[in-house]
């Protein structure tokens, strides 16, 4: 495993219809969107995910956890955790969950600010949300909660 600061990390914004994917280097603490994977009731094309993992060779994968504002979990949290467990089980990559509250909301704002359409389906909200999830995780590595 490379030194922590030089790890390549891949992030997933899990959704029942689309899964956004981003990748970044921990040293730079920034991410870039790399894919939007269609899903059927939360089930992705695992071959597409395998191809991305093979291409990018991440040292770690992070999956967004859509907690409620009061820190409680909901059905989507359970589904995101299950997705993370499947990633780990199928591809033997380390997986961490990261609080993703408001990332989709922020991503929609970013897309709109850049002149995007209100038809968010194909306009990068989910992969932009994956970038925000990744950057949230990077921020937690340099500023752990409680420090």
Q: CB count, 10 Å around CB of 77?
A: 18
Instruction: Let me know if residue 147 belongs to a domain.
Output: no
Instruction: Let me know if residue 91 belongs to a domain.
Output: yes
Decide if pLDDT at 21 tops 80: yes
What tens digit of pLDDT does each residue of 123-138 get? Answer: 467 788 899 999 999 9
Looking up residue 71, the CATH number of its domain turns out to be 3.30.420.140
Instruction: Let me know if residue 26 belongs to a domain.
Output: yes
Instruction: Let me know if residue 111 belongs to a domain.
Output: yes
pLDDT at res. 50:
97
Instruction: Let me know if residue 89 belongs to a domain.
Output: yes
44 has which bridge partners? 39
Within the chain, strands assigned E span 8-13, 18-25, 30-40, 43-44, 60-65, 95-99
> What is the number of domains present in the chain?
1
What tens digit of pLDDT does each residue of 55-113 get? Answer: 999 999 999 999 988 989 999 999 999 999 999 999 999 999 999 875 555 545 554 45
Instruction: Let me know if residue 70 belongs to a domain.
Output: yes
Q: What one-character-per-residue DSSP string does 52-88 give?
A: HHHHH--SEEEEEE---TTS---HHHHHHHHHHHHHH
pLDDT at res. 123:
47
Decide if pLDDT at 119 tops 70: no
Instruction: Identify the domain containing residue 26 by its residue range.
Output: 4-142
């Amino acid at each position: 495993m490379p030194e922590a600061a030089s790890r390549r990390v891949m992030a997933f914004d899990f959704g029942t219809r689309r899964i956004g994917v981003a990748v970044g280097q921990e040293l730079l603490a920034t991410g870039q969107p790399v894919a939007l994977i269609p899903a059927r009731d939360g089930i992705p094309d695992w071959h597409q995910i395998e191809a991305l993992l093979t291409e990018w060779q991440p040292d770690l994968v992070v999956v967004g956890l859509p907690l409620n504002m009061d820190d409680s979990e909901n059905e989507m949290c359970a589904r995101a955790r299950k997705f993370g467990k499947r990633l780990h089980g199928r591809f033997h990559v380390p997986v961490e969950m990261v609080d993703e509250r408001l990332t989709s909301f922020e991503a929609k704002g970013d897309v709109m600010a850049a002149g995007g359409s209100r038809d968010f389906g194909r306009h990068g909200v989910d992969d932009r949300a994956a970038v925000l999830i990744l950057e949230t995780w990077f921020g937690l590595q340099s500023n752990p909660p409680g420090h």
